[in-house]
Amino acid sequence: MARSAKPRKRKPAPQRSKLLRYVVKLHEDDFFDEEEAEVLRFDNFDDAVECC
């Protein structure tokens, strides 16, 4: 017997925040250890640029 011609329902995509977030990791120039890097989070790119 033929399958139904009805399209399958899609699962809804996981909800993400509509606001983009910018993350800046600060580290020493001569040595970089990702685990010890300080992380600053900004909602606005201009704020991240002004800070760093």
Residue-wise DSSP of the chain: -PPP-SPPPPPPPPP--SS--EEEEE--SS---GGG-EEEEESSHHHHHHH-
Dihedral angle of Cα 4, 7, 8, 13, to the nearest 10 degrees: 180
pLDDT tens per residue across span 21-50: 666 666 565 555 556 666 677 777 777 777
Given a cut of 70, whether residue 18 has pLDDT beyond it is no
> For residue 3, what are its two tokens?
């399958």
Report the C-alpha gap between 24 and 19 in whole angstroms.
Answer: 16
The verdict on pTM exceeding 0.85 is no
Domains in the chain: boundaries: 22-51
